[in-house]
Amino acid sequence: MQEQNKQSDTPCAQAVYDNIWASPVLFVFVSLSLFLSPHDYGGNMAAWAVYFAGWTPPALMGLWCLKSGRRPDLPAAPIGLAVLAGGGLCNFLLHNQSLPI
């Protein structure tokens, strides 16, 4: 019975592992949506906060990969990081006056 539960958890854990690498795409989408919606300066700060929060999942997954000795998910990891970097560049070029630095 325990062996059956262990086998059923493995595909779920693999699905979570694969999808977390692509999660920065959602953060970029939400931050761009916040930037494009009509609001005041505080809305831009929220959009930057969402964008910077998007770096958390790949950073944590990278640390987990280093600790466990696994390789990053090759199709999703580089694409997620590229979209995150590209979205950040787009946000910076269009909304650099509200950058919270």
**Contact 34/43 with Cβ under 8 angstroms?**
yes
The pTM (predicted TM-score) of the whole model is 0.78
Q: Where are the domains of the chain?
A: 20-62+73-101
Which ranges of the chain does DSSP label H, i.e. alpha helix?
A: 2-22, 24-36, 41-53, 56-68, 76-95
Q: What is the pLDDT of residues 38-76, one digit of tens each?
A: 876 677 888 899 999 999 999 998 898 889 888 887 777
* Max avg pLDDT among 16-25, 32-41, 80-89: 80-89
Give which of 72, 100, 80 is closest to 22, Cα–Cα.
80
pLDDT at 9 over 50: yes
Identify the residue whose tokens are 């970097």: 85
**Contact 32/87 with Cβ under 8 angstroms?**
yes
pLDDT at 3 over 80: no
**Any residues with CB less than 8 A from the CB of 80 and at least 6 apart, and which?**
21, 22, 23, 24, 25, 58
